[in-house]
């Protein structure tokens, strides 16, 4: 079987790099892109290499970042610019292959196995992309070159900034196995802590663990981790036009101020569900369940979910069920900082529904027609032209475009 040539390209300190590229005065300084200090303590969204060396970390609140780095220059985010340069970077990648799979805004995988011509090696292609990114966009990128997606991503993390790292089949054990297990994609803090309890600290130790034992700890994900560590993962790099099958539809936001009451949380949920209901209509889907993520200042993320007796795409029904879950489960030991609502257990609109004794079907149909009209008006005149009255109060939701930024999802098999 022919060995694949997979690249993973990761833009260096992306948000901060875009800010420094557009404002040359910031170059050579410790820079952090942060949420507004005035709106809520503000957190670090991205930092330059100098800020990183001074101890500034992503997710750190502004005042703590300034303590670590007194010379820190804080700038606000400009998401429209980040999206623009992300698209321009993708265009550079498309010159070499159509198999370009984004992983967030500043990372992509590329499969150049059959598209290296006129270049002689994957390393040469990677260098061409690295130089073009620097010369045309004024940004730097680190690229990992390997025979699968997992090790390509590891390679892009090994040398930063502005570098290319090759992890070949012949030397991957020497380069990869000594690394901490947490260096590998999908080994988060909880997974790493669980592995550590059993003396599994490195990728090599993970690779040499009985896969059935890993399955007993993590289910099918344990088998996937074993393949990742052993270099036997065969996940494809998807075509640039690939659209993932819709399995859930969610919308979430970190608010600009703490939500102090159940009513405030519900108003945010109702606003989020306007978008979810619209996307359910676009895909001709019904939700048979709802999931709620909330983050309290001192609690981390909490997750609750439940099913509906019948499928729905009504924003109000989704929000009401989300509120019911939240009101019954959230401990209120701390205010709420972030809220996400997701429509889950999706099914096509044409799926026959089992009617129960307690649902007023005629009323539900009238509500759906009204929601369709509201959705059409929002599409024509803008999202704020019409909606529930409570969503026109101070929702403590940001309006700077950060909700347009899509976070990385899972790889496709």
Q: Name the 3-class secondary structure at 31.
A: strand
Which residues lie closer than 8 Å to 216 by C-beta, 6 or more apart?
A: 222
Strand pairing report for 285-296 and 336-348: antiparallel
Which of these is catalytic: 107, 241, 264, 324? 107
Q: Assess whether 107 carries a catalytic annotation.
A: yes
Q: Is the dihedral of CA 358, 361, 367, 372 positive or negative?
A: positive
- 30 sits in the region (left: phi over 0; alpha: psi -120 to 50; else beta) called beta
> In terms of C-beta density within 10 A (0-12 exposed, 13-18 middle, 19 or more buried), how is residue 413 classed?
exposed
Contact between 100 and 403 (Cβ < 8 Å): no
The single residue listed with the structure tokens 């942060």 is 34
Token pair in block for residue 26: 């910031």
Per the listing, tokens 């997979």 go with 6
Record the tokens describing residue 81, joined without a space: 């610019």
Integer Cα distance of 78 and 376 in angstroms: 29
C-alpha dihedral (72, 408, 18, 403), degrees to nearest 10:
-80
* Helices then strands, each counted (H, E), the chain: 14, 12
Q: Which residues contact 315 (CB under 8 A, 6 or more apart)?
A: 270, 273, 274, 276, 277, 371
Q: Which positions are catalytic?
A: 107
């Amino acid at each position: 079987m022919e060995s694949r040539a997979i690249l993973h390209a990761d833009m260096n300190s992306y948000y901060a790099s875009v800010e420094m590229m557009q404002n040359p005065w910031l170059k050579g300084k410790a820079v952090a892109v942060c949420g507004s200090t005035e709106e809520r303590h503000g957190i670090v969204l991205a930092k330059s290499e100098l800020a990183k060396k001074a101890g500034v970390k992503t997710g750190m609140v502004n005042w703590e970042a300034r303590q670590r780095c007194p010379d820190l220059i804080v700038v606000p985010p400009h998401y429209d610019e980040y999206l623009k340069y992300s698209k321009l970077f993708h265009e550079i990648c498309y010159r070499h292959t159509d198999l370009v799979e984004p992983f967030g805004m500043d990372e992509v995988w590329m499969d150049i196995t059959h598209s290296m011509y006129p270049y002689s090696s994957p390393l040469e292609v990677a260098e061409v992309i690295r130089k073009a990114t620097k010369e045309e966009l004024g940004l730097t990128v680190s690229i990992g070159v390997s025979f699968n997606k997992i090790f390509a991503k590891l390679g892009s993390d090994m040398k930063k900034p502005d570098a290319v790292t090759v992890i070949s089949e012949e030397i991957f054990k020497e380069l990869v196995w000594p690394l901490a297990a947490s260096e590998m994609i999908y080994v988060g803090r909880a997974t790493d802590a669980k592995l550590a309890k059993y003396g599994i600290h490195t990728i090599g130790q993970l690779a040499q663990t009985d896969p059935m034992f890993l399955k007993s700890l993590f289910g099918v994900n344990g088998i996937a981790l074993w393949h990742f560590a052993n270099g036997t993962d065969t996940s494809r790099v998807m075509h640039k036009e690939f659209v993932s099958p819709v399995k859930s539809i969610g919308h979430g936001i970190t608010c600009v101020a703490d939500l102090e009451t159940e009513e405030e949380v519900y108003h945010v949920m109702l606003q989020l569900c306007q978008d979810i209901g619209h996307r359910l209509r676009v895909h001709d889907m019904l939700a048979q369940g709802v999931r709620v993520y909330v983050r309290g200042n001192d609690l981390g993320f909490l997750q609750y979910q439940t099913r509906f007796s019948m499928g729905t795409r009504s924003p109000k029904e989704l929000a009401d069920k989300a509120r019911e879950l939240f009101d019954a489960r959230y401990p209120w030991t701390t205010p709420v900082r972030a809220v996400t609502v997701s429509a889950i257990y999706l099914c096509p609109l044409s799926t026959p529904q089992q009617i129960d004794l307690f649902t007023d079907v005629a009323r539900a149909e009238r509500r759906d027609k009204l929601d369709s009209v509201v959705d059409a008006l929002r599409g024509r005149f803008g999202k704020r032209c019409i909606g529930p009255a409570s969503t026109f109060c101070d929702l403590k939701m940001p309006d700077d475009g950060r909700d347009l930024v899509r976070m990385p999802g899972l790889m496709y098999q």
